[in-house]
Structure 1
Amino acid sequence: MSLMIVDNLGKAYRTYKTEWHRFGRWLGIPCQPNEEHWVLRHLNFEIQPGEAIGIVGQNGAGKSTLLKMITGTLQPTEGSIQVNGRIAAILELGMGFNPELSGRENVFHAAGLMGFSTRQIQKAMPDVEAFAEIGEYFDQPVRTYSSGMQMRVAFAVATAYRPEILIVDEALSVGDSYFQHKSFNRIREFQEQGTTLMIVSHDRSAIQSLCDRAILLEQGRILKDGSPEEIFDFYNALIAEKEKSTIEIKKLESGRVRTISGTGEAKIKDINLFNEKREKADFVEVGESVFIKANVVINANIGTLVFGYSIKDKHGQIMYGTNTWHTKQIVKNPRKGDEYTFLVSFPANLGPGTYSVQTALVDSQTHLTSNYEWQDLALVFDVVNSNQTYFDGSCWIEPSIRVEKA
């Protein structure tokens, strides 16, 4: 059974000539609004138990509105949401907190609204206080709190009891690094116990590390639903899209999706990875000296050409990336028909696993000004470990360990 079913969901904000017309609409009298603005429309998706869903989209796409309707703080204009389980949500910072009450008093109030008894709240209170780690401020008015302290208390009370569905908006971004790590660890613990996660964030690494699925919203509609890597690659291409640029999507034999975008004024003709023997390679050894060779053709006269690349793991997390803007190797005034070769040498100080290379041909330090070509999964290779001491992780950082008897 699905944990959540969103069926033809929509939210509109309407203005009427008079409040009587609005009141008449509530009573079912056909009163046409003066203006009607749809924030969300025709949303359909299902969530299964244990899934982790990232909601992605530009500002104004309707992400927060969607979460508010799921949690019941906002009523839909059309469609329905069926939820089969208890929801815990962290939406707007300090939402529902009384600034004149202490953190402890607000925890009683918030947990009570979540449906827990006084006895249950009293039993959980020491854990909430310990997790929040704000010391004596826990018994001070919330109006004296910093935004980070409010976040600590809000997260602690929302996760004091494991919910079937945990919803987190961008609010976690205001916390300090220590508490963010602590919060994500708790989220992962809940996931292991079967909690379904729905998170809104612009942080690609957070969604790719926590989620197994992502939904891209654009102008209030679902534009794409798929793996986080595929969604973020498409989203990245979308926000960089300019006049005359295109987005091309190709499904590879491995099942992964390659996204290519750009104006085409410069394009990668071919790209390969070479091992220490200067042979083309699909796999390399941990620590081996390798190089990437990218041949680029110029299809129009342009002012500057910058080549960039990133190495990503199988989850789409960037291991390393840079470009020739930062290395001060900018190509000036390339002409139509010119060809350039970029050779990138580096030691494969990576953990065993599958990696991909993302490439960018742009005019400056970013692809947001002129994006000639942006290509995800331009190259895929494997790293194996048959020569080095066994280790865990994505990076090879060989240690020197001394053991001394005290």
Structure 2
Amino acid sequence: MGSIQVSQLGKAYKQYPSRWARLAEWFIPFSRPRHQLKWVLQDLSFTVNPGEALGIIGVNGAGKSTLLKMITGTTQPNAGHIHLQGRVAALLELGMGFHPDFSGRQNVFMAGQLLGLGMDELHELMPEIEAFAEIGEYIDQPVRTYSSGMQMRLAFSVATARRPDVLIVDEALSVGDAYFQHKSFARIREFRKAGTTLLIVSHDRQAIQNLCDRAILLANGKLALEGSPEEVMDFYSAMLAEKEQQTVRQERLESGQVRTISGTGEAGFADIALINDQGQRVDVVSVGAMVTLEVTVDVRADVPRLVLGFMIKDRMGQAMYGINTHRLNQPVENLKAGEQVVYRFKFPARLGKGNYSIALSLSRFDSHLDTNYEWRDFALVFHVINIKQADFVGCAWLDSDVSIERSEAVVAATVEG
């Protein structure tokens, strides 16, 4: 079983005002320092327990890739220490370790030895590596002729030819086609079931929430937040929308879930309700029942264009359905401070049994990343039960109509002559 322990980790690079200052520091070793330290990561601590999956999230430049390079040993830290237990396989920069003039097969043997595999073992694994990569005759062509997707296929196949104790994956998988991404994540899930410890960097919300037990958010080289994948991804999404005079805050609900709220506050939610056909507020609905999501919005400052969107998510945070008034061609324009707008979305609750939440956003256009007035997760929580429909499995009720045709058996006649 593999584990990772990072304690008070720090990484800094020297910055010189000019190349002459760098030369002066080299040739006059006992003079004053002529550089400043630029800290990429500072005082970072976390633990990944055996068999656990941790997602790392952050904007470009937050220090994610630097952290992975230090964990895998390709870069050394300036402070703190890292303790790894078990055999580690890493998929970092695309094609890292591949020589462009060597064939894919030759690179498999070189990269495999760097991962600690012997030549006999690699000869034994080669057919499986070829089959999983699915690059055909290109396996014997120079890697410089490969597309980025082909390089990723081969690199992932080598890195996962043997189940590692610890698997570290950077954004490299994002360059692959949808088919191979699905295939790769299926293998990662198999490894997880078998006990592999996973450390993954991704901006893909579904990948983080499906694969990970916990997530951490890096911001400005420090640990900004640690928690459940959904909680951290919600906060990260709010951070992306954050602009001047905009706030991001989190509230813990009675259920223990964390609600993230962000926005400029020029418009905000005054009331949110789920209403049944009898006009009653409900938090329990039956499969297929007609319901209306009623949202009242207060306009606190002049707003040139207002778009309301909602997203229904399951208990794991996966999106079930989302729509907004921009896509429905129904934005409200030229609103004045003091006005109030009531939105009503009517739809059948064609959902499977379980708990669901609704996230809401008020923005200027299609995305809350463009002028986010207010964005709120867990704005409303409701439960779906099945008391009228045939029992079914899954997250969506499709109400399938079946027809069955049965024919009588045909008996062959024999004639004796």
Bin the TM-score by the shorter chain: over 0.9
Aligned to 2:313, the other structure's residue is in SS state strand
* Greater mean deviation of Cα atoms: 118-127 or 87-96: 118-127
Q: CA deviation at 1:2?
A: 8.2
Name the CA distance, whole Å, in 2 between partners of 1:22 and 1:348.
Answer: 70
Give the aligned partner of residue 116 of structure 2: 115
Mark the CA change 1:403 to 1:166 in structure 2 (over 3 Å): closer, same or farther.
Answer: farther
Give the aligned partner of residue 280 of structure 1: 281
Give the aligned partner of residue 10 of structure 1: 10
Equivalent residues of 2:2, 2:87 under 8 A apart = no
Name the CA distance, whole Å, in 2 between partners of 1:15 and 1:362.
Answer: 41
Q: Does 1:298 align with 2:299?
A: yes
Equivalent residues of 2:353, 2:386 under 8 A apart = yes
Name the CA distance, whole Å, in 2 between partners of 1:152 and 1:401.
Answer: 42
Name the CA distance, whole Å, in 1 between partners of 2:10 and 2:27.
Answer: 21
Give the aligned partner of residue 411 of structure 2: none
Aligned to 1:205, the other structure's residue is in SS state helix
Name the CA distance, whole Å, in 2 between partners of 1:141 and 1:404.
Answer: 57
Deviations 1:271-325 (A, max 9, x none): 0112233321112112111111111111112212211111111111111111111
Mark the CA change 1:88 to 1:23 in structure 2 (over 3 Å): closer, same or farther.
Answer: farther
Equivalent residues of 1:14, 1:33 under 8 A apart = no
Which amino acid counterpart does residue 356 of structure 2 have in structure 1?
Answer: Y
- When normalised by structure 2's length, the TM-score is 0.92
Equivalent residues of 1:89, 1:167 under 8 A apart = yes
- When normalised by structure 1's length, the TM-score is 0.95
Give the aligned partner of residue 354 of structure 1: 355
Q: Does 1:213 align with 2:214?
A: yes
Q: CA deviation at 1:21?
A: 3.8
Name the CA distance, whole Å, in 1 between partners of 2:312 and 2:190.
Answer: 29
Equivalent residues of 2:305, 2:364 under 8 A apart = yes
Deviations 1:329-368 (A, max 9, x none): 1112222221111101111111211111001111222222
Name the CA distance, whole Å, in 2 between partners of 1:248 and 1:93.
Answer: 36
Larger radius of gyration, structure 1 or 2? Answer: 2
Which amino acid counterpart does residue 5 of structure 1 have in structure 2?
Answer: Q
Which amino acid counterpart does residue 292 of structure 1 have in structure 2?
Answer: L
Deviations 1:354-395 (A, max 9, x none): 111001111222222321111110000111223223322222
Name the CA distance, whole Å, in 2 between partners of 1:33 and 1:114.
Answer: 39
Q: Does 1:365 align with 2:379?
A: no
Aligned to 1:278, the other structure's residue is in SS state coil
Mark the CA change 1:277 to 1:139 in structure 2 (over 3 Å): closer, same or farther.
Answer: same
Mark the CA change 1:31 to 1:53 in structure 2 (over 3 Å): closer, same or farther.
Answer: farther
Give the aligned partner of residue 383 of structure 1: 384
Give the aligned partner of residue 182 of structure 2: 181
Which amino acid counterpart does residue 245 of structure 2 have in structure 1?
Answer: K
Equivalent residues of 1:10, 1:79 under 8 A apart = yes
Deviations 1:5-37 (A, max 9, x none): 111111111146345745998xxx796241321
Deviations 1:118-171 (A, max 9, x none): 111111111111111111111222112111111111001101111111111111
Q: CA deviation at 1:402?
A: 4.3
- Could you tell me which runs of 5 or more consecutive residues in structure 1 were left unpaired when the two chains were aligned: none
Equivalent residues of 1:2, 1:49 under 8 A apart = yes
Q: CA deviation at 1:405?
A: 5.9
Give the aligned partner of residue 163 of structure 2: 162
Mark the CA change 1:207 to 1:367 in structure 2 (over 3 Å): closer, same or farther.
Answer: same
Name the CA distance, whole Å, in 2 between partners of 1:18 and 1:172.
Answer: 38
Aligned to 1:12, the other structure's residue is in SS state strand
For 1:63-74, what aligned pairs fall within 5 Å after superposition?
Answer: 63-74=64-75
Q: CA deviation at 1:397?
A: 2.1
Equivalent residues of 1:2, 1:46 under 8 A apart = no
Aligned to 1:184, the other structure's residue is in SS state helix
Aligned to 2:172, the other structure's residue is in SS state helix
Give the aligned partner of residue 225 of structure 1: 226
For 1:331-346, what aligned pairs fall within 5 Å after superposition?
Answer: 331-346=332-347
